[in-house]
Amino acid sequence: MRHIAIVGSGPAGYYTAEAAARKWGDDVRIDVIDRLPVPYGLIRTGVAPDHQSIKKVSLRYEKTALTENVRFVGNVNVGSDVSVTELRDLYDAIIFATGAPNDRRLGLDGEELDNVHGSAEFVGWYNGHPQFAALDPDFSGRHAVVVGMGNVALDVARILSKTDAELDGSDIVAHALDALRGSRLETITIVGRRGPHQIMMTPKELGELMHLERASPKVDPADLPPEGDDAILEPGLRKSVTLLREFAAIPESIHGETPITIEFDFFANPTAMRGKDGKVAAVTVERTTIEKGRAVGTGETYDLLADLVVTCIGYHSSPIDGVPFDERAGRFPNEDGRILPGLYCVGWAKRGPTGTIGTNRPDGYAVIDIVNDDIGMGGRKRGREGFDELAVERGIDIVTFRDWQKIEQAEEAAARAGAPREKFVDIASMIAAKGK
Ligand code: NAP
């Protein structure tokens, strides 16, 4: 019998569990451990609440979770509730699928001012992640600056722009919906240090900006390279740039008609944030040019008014006691997912915060092939039996998949009209909902 612990129950965790269950059938026991009492990681707390069709991928993970030899072990923090050394005694392989839950920082003066938020905390806030539910961003100002030109920046700009009616059918949490109702934002400036040809935004997500009820996207035609230059771009990026050209063609009168304008500010590298009474008021940016694909400062600076700033510039993983960590790269050092004998990583914890949800599938299958080469038939570990003894000894209130289903039912029952669920945003309420 092989005993496998997967730490993290997001896409990387569940694709890996699926791969392990398929590879070894009855000859494996898989524990998917999560620090939260609820599964699915970024599907629950990262994917935008108005992208419900993407969230449906969790049905596939549910199927895996309900496989007989797979179990969900929620509400257990590896590193504090149980140590990695203890897990190594119990399991043949421990696979970290812990993602990259922490915001990268710009490292600028003024970044600590009030109402400057990283996207992990801001997205976590509107998605009801218990760690960020108390964030309380302030929408009383007129100007927001969103730093970064990736899909997370688009998610943030779109959620800041949508009306109540446009959020019908989403699972945005009540505290965020209430706060956004009072928003007085008029401009949302998406700032990129490079140009239109270097954006990380994908066409579907970019195209959504064209269909917002009260907001219109604005691109300065002068920022766009000659149209003929688009021919060298790969097809997805070319489509995105074509959309930017469409935004550039929107007449000024339309921007006058929509209460919110989403402005793209290219070739603009933030260099400082300035505040008033402790709260952010402006972002200073330096004009850049592109040399060999890199943004190079020109020395020319200007200020963007900013009552709210959300930085969407990527993430890093969390170190865990007993596991080597590469501080500079912000993830576990690994070779094809191998960290040390018996320790592996997968997904963003392995390769950094890139790719789509689906990228995690081949990743999960590949790491299981490697684990298979390393552990053969498995050893004499005690696996979940030993883990459960430890949990009882420590008084850890493990949340099982059956418990999660009770939490899920309670969230569905509490949903406002048209919404799929109203999430619990604190751990105590989740635990209470599962009952005894
Ligand atoms: P991303 O795609 O890597 O974009 C990060 C952006 O931040 C880039 O424009 C980057 O500019 C900029 N940036 C990084 N460091 C910076 C700095 N120091 N100063 C100024 N700008 C900086 O990251 P993401 O938007 O966080 O997305 C993470 C992953 O999740 C991506 O794979 C994304 O596609 C995926 N995702 C997908 C969806 C979806 O499919 N609907 C939604 C959300 C996220 P440079 O290019 O110049 O470095």
> In this predicted structure, what is the pLDDT of residue 435?
87
- For ligand 1, atom 36, name the residue with the nearest CA: 151
What is residue 301's predicted lDDT score, i.e. its pLDDT? 98
Domain boundary among 284, 315, 346: 315
Q: Which helix (H) or strand (E) holds 364?
A: helix 360-375
331 & 307 share domain: no
Tell me how far the alpha carbon of residue 337 lies from the centroid of ligand 1, in angstroms. Answer: 23
288 and 321 belong to one structural domain: no
Amino acid at 76: V
Say whether both 278 and 369 belong to one domain. no
In whole angstroms, what is the distance from residue 241 CA to residue 199 CA? 8
Pair 14, 57: CB distance under 8 Å: no
434 CA to centre of ligand 1 in angstroms: 36
CATH number of the domain to which 178 belongs = 3.50.50.60
CA of 101 to the centre of ligand 1 (A): 14
How far, in Å, from the CA of 73 to the mean position of ligand 1?
31
Q: Which of 290, 315, 340 is the last residue of a domain?
A: 315
Return the ligand 1 atom nearest residue 51 CA: 41
Q: Residue 394 C-alpha to ligand 1 middle, in angstroms? A: 40
280 lies in the same domain as 303:
yes
* 354 CA closest ligand 1 atom index: 32
CA 331 – CA 333 distance, rounded (Å): 6
Note down the domain range covering 392: 2-101+317-434
Closest CA to 44 of 21, 3, 10: 10
What is the per-residue pLDDT for 377? 86
CA of 235 to the centre of ligand 1 (A): 19
Give the list of residues 6+ apart from residue 151 with CB closer than 8 angstroms, or none: 200, 201, 202, 205
Residues 67 and 108 in one domain: no
Q: Give the chain's residues under pLDDT 70.
A: none
User: How far is ligand 1, taken at its centre, from the CA of residue 201, in Å?
Assistant: 8
Q: Which of 263, 298, 315 is the last residue of a domain?
A: 315
Which residue minimizes the CA distance to atom 16 of ligand 1?
313
For residues 8 and 42, state if they share a domain. Answer: yes
Residue nearest to atom 39 of ligand 1 (CA): 151
Contact predicate 242/190, CB 8 Å: no
> What are the b/e assignments for 256-288, b being 16+ CB within 10 Å?
eebebbbbbbbbbbbebbebeeeebbbbbbbeb
Hey, whose CA ends up nearest to atom 40 of ligand 1? 356
Q: Which helix (H) or strand (E) holds 344?
A: strand 343-345
Ligand 1 atom 6, closest CA: 148
Q: Name the residue of 54, 200, 273, 289 whose CB sits within 8 Å of the most ligand 1 atoms, as the mutation to test its pocket.
A: 200
How many A from CA of 313 to the centre of ligand 1? Answer: 5
Residues 294 and 335 grouped into a single domain: no
Domain match, 121 and 32 both: no
Distance (angstroms) between ligand 1 centre and the Cα of 398 equals 35
What is the rounded distance in angstroms from the CA atom of residue 71 to the CA atom of residue 401? 7
CA of 266 to the centre of ligand 1 (A): 14
What CATH number should be reported for the domain holding residue 88? 3.40.50.720
Helix axes 11-24, 360-375, angle to 10 degrees: 50
Rounded to the nearest integer, the mean pLDDT of the chain is: 97
Mutate to test the pocket of ligand 1, among 44, 52, 106, 152 (most ligand atoms within 8 A of CB): 152
Q: How far is the CA of 399 from the centre of ligand 1 (A)?
A: 33
Q: Which atom of ligand 1 is nearest to the CA of 314?
A: 26
Per-position DSSP letters for 376-427, written without gaps between them? TT--S--THHHHHHHHHHHT---B-HHHHHHHHHHHHHTPPTT-S-----SH
User: Are residues 118 and 9 part of one domain?
Assistant: no
| Residue to mutate (ligand 1; options 156, 313, 354; most atoms within 8 A of CB) | 313
Same domain, 48 and 148: no
pLDDT in tens, 62-114: 999 999 999 999 999 999 999 999 999 999 999 999 999 999 999 999 999 99
Contact 431, 75 (CB under 8 A): yes
Q: 17-46: per-residue pLDDT in tens? A: 999 999 999 999 999 999 999 999 999 999
Angstrom distance (rounded) from CA 140 to CA 158: 18
Q: How far is the CA of 403 from the centre of ligand 1 (A)?
A: 35
How many domains are contained in the chain? 2
Do 72 and 184 reside in the same domain of the chain?
no
Ligand 1, residues at Cβ distance < 6 Å: 106, 147-153, 155, 192-194, 198, 200, 202, 205, 312-314, 353-356
Q: Decide if 72 contacts 399 (C-beta within 8 A).
A: yes
Per-residue CA distances from 350 to 32, 44, 312, 329, 358 (Å): 17, 21, 20, 10, 15
- Taken as a whole, the chain contains a residue count of 436
Q: Would you state the pLDDT for residue 236?
A: 98
C-alpha of 127 from chain center? 10
Residues 257 and 293 in one domain: yes
Could you identify the atom of ligand 1 that is nearest to the CA of residue 315?
26
Quick one: tokens of 139?
A: 């929408």
Q: Which atom of ligand 1 is nearest to the CA of 205?
A: 41
Task: Give the residue, out of 50, 116, 127, 193, with the most ligand 1 atoms within 8 A of its beta carbon, to mutate for a pocket test.
Answer: 193
